[in-house]
Structure 1
Amino acid sequence: MQLAPADRRSTYLAALTQEIERKLQKALISPGQRPELLQKLFADAALEIEDRARDMILKKDEDEIASADDVTETLCFYELFEVSVETSEVLLRYGSALVHGASNVFWIDIQANRRRFFSLFSYLLEEVALVPDRSNKISLQARRDLYLLLSRFLFFYKLDDLLEPFLKHFPAYPNAFLVGGPEDIFVIELSDQLQKLKVEPVLLHYLSRMGALKGLELRMATSTRLKACLYSFTSPGGPMYPTRAVRHAAWDTLDLLFPVGRYPRHVISVFFRLLYPWYWPSSCWNFIVTCVTTVVYYILRVIISSWENIRKSKRS
């Protein structure tokens, strides 16, 4: 018998719950394999369920659940967080587990420069944070932690086009009178995140998305904090030891977000570069290569332009 969509979804979630309980029991009775089993379960809870695994779950109760071929929606373990909980203590644990668990799996993506857990992040942002009816289900503290978490990974998962509505849904923070509004809190979390990044492609990706901050009204303290964070990536040596690509990306971001004072910053940077004589040979070589490349491309553009003009004159 075909079940109604609401009943079918409820049955799916019940089946998923039983599957998680079964894996937890298996981890409980297998101390030697417990870390591995829990790690796999934790990863499963943050990912969409593959078709093969979904078939195995659904076939366990074929009398009540429709066949997998009739399923048109995506099943996700983490949608177990949509259940209604009456006890505030349990609700607090739900919210804390959601935020801390999501933070761990997002860092797994950061370290590997992959986006396996994009579906979880998209769900937390678009289906929870931007939907007051759902975000209000978890405690206020967990909700605040969730928004801070999303602020740190929003650029990584390329969802900065949702920055404006995301900022509008920010909850109230007790220290807002000290740090500022949602824009300031977002930039502070983002600056702290940049300082923690050690994977060069990820850092370059973050810097490439920073243009979304242009036009935000920030407090002077927040603006200075962001400048200092970006400026720390523009010089070779400690404590960041940024690569040449990172230094150039940081300069481009600084010039884009803070065009006022651009030239004095570069002059000061050249002065401090003199403090690192072991970088002079590479700097001189890169300068020569850049100059030669620029001249060559300029000559090619002139030749191509002249050739196009000759062809047009012949046609006319």
Structure 2
Amino acid sequence: MTKMEKASSTVPSSSYLNALTLEIEKKLQRALASASQRRNLLQELFADIALEVDDRARDIILSTEEDTISPAEDGVDGQLCFYNVLADYYVRVPESGKRILDLIVQLWSQSFASHIFSLLFHKWLFEAHLDSTEVLIRYSSALVQGATNVFWIDIQTNTRHFQALFQAQRDLFLLLSRFLLFYNLDYKLEIFLKRFPVFPNAFLVGGPVDFFVIELADQLQKLKVEPVLLHYLSQIKVLQGMELRMTTSTRLRACLYSFTSPGGPMYPTRAVRHAAWEALDLLFPVGRYPRHLISLFFRLLYPWCWPSSCCNFIISCIKAIFCSLLRLLFSSWEKLREN
């Protein structure tokens, strides 16, 4: 955030945050005035506020002034970004962000406007008292859209840069269901489900766990980044033992089964296929062997895969025999030592 840093490198924390706010306002005004450069300016601003705070700025921000915002708790694994700082600041001093909010509203339809809104005002929105329901719905929609976009940026880059934005608020429960496992929060699943709101169509879909699984299954089918997909498949085992409606159970089983066969439409890699089989066998042990037999039959429909399958099968058998021999040798050695 070069211009912002230069504008406030020698001032105390409150003035520093004011200077950041002024720089954001200037860039938004430039975007509003220039239709041809609007998208580029908004993209640059989004990149600016998503930057990690450097050491000099961190010292200023984390100073001990009475009116200083201390966003240390927002950092993920020690990472502190400018949007963490500014989001706290606009909650504590809402009048400071009013001009920025007005400018963003004028740029609603532009790319990256919702991104910027979600980063800067995701905390303010749940603290503000808005008299107009229409305005609240508009802001909530922008927050959901922006949060979805920035979370997908994390997915595509396999990072946790926007994890601080991941909050368990009522309007975001379905969205959180898609990203809970990605951010390694499976240990909070029970608490998350207990706080799940009651939706109007709950009598048709089921309880909180059904909503969670439906969103999760939809998310799995959209993933194209192999490490992320493998991560999801390893984390999904947390669903073991949970009671699901028949329709939800069938939906999840079909989703996992789609990753177990080579070829279209998924074209899963060998690692993904094995991870999907492990998750499927763990969550749905009944019918395990018939599923594998059916899968073997369909594998015969892909003759070009036979050589690699045979090779992998032979290698797996050799590894299994070798491991068995090692275990036998070690057990015999232990018996000899005992004797």
Q: TM-score, normalised by structure 2?
A: 0.74
| Secondary structure, aligned partner of 1:76 | helix
Find out whether 1:163 has 2:208 as its counterpart: no
Amino acid at match of 1:259: P
Residues 234 and 164 of structure 1: is their aligned pair in 2 closer, same or farther, counting only changes over 3 Å? same
Checking the alignment, whether the CA contact within 8 Å between 1:111 and 1:199 is kept in structure 2 is yes
Matches within 5 A, 1:277-316: 277-313=303-339
Amino acid at match of 2:45: L
Match for residue 77 of structure 1 among 60, 78, 86: 86
Find out whether 1:106 has 2:151 as its counterpart: yes
Checking the alignment, whether the CA contact within 8 Å between 1:47 and 1:119 is kept in structure 2 is no
Q: Deviations over 1:15-66 (max 9, x none)?
A: 665453233124334555432331243355567655544667899xxxxx93
Residues 303 and 259 of structure 1: is their aligned pair in 2 closer, same or farther, counting only changes over 3 Å? same
Checking the alignment, whether the CA contact within 8 Å between 1:118 and 1:157 is kept in structure 2 is yes
Q: Deviations over 1:137-158 (max 9, x none)?
A: xxxxxx1xx1111011111111
Find out whether 1:86 has 2:130 as its counterpart: yes
- Distance in 2 (alpha carbons) for counterparts of 1:170 and 1:50: 38
Aligned residue pair count: 281
- Distance in 1 (alpha carbons) for counterparts of 2:196 and 2:152: 23
- Distance in 2 (alpha carbons) for counterparts of 1:10 and 1:56: 9
- Contiguous gaps of at least 5 residues in structure 2: 1-11, 73-83, 89-120
Deviation at 1:180, TM superposition (A): 1.3
- Distance in 1 (alpha carbons) for counterparts of 2:131 and 2:28: 23
Q: Where does residue 37 of structure 1 map in the other structure?
A: 41
- Distance in 2 (alpha carbons) for counterparts of 1:179 and 1:235: 29
- Distance in 2 (alpha carbons) for counterparts of 1:95 and 1:225: 29
Q: Where does residue 24 of structure 2 map in the other structure?
A: 20
Amino acid at match of 2:151: F
- Contiguous gaps of at least 5 residues in structure 1: 1-7, 60-64, 130-134, 136-142
| Secondary structure, aligned partner of 1:209 | helix
- Distance in 2 (alpha carbons) for counterparts of 1:204 and 1:293: 23
Q: Where does residue 66 of structure 1 map in the other structure?
A: 65
Deviation at 1:77, TM superposition (A): 3.2
Q: Where does residue 210 of structure 1 map in the other structure?
A: 236
Residues 42 and 173 of structure 1: is their aligned pair in 2 closer, same or farther, counting only changes over 3 Å? farther
**What is the root-mean-square deviation in Å for CA atoms of aligned residues?**
3.0
Q: TM-score, normalised by structure 1?
A: 0.79
Amino acid at match of 2:243: E
- Distance in 2 (alpha carbons) for counterparts of 1:177 and 1:160: 26
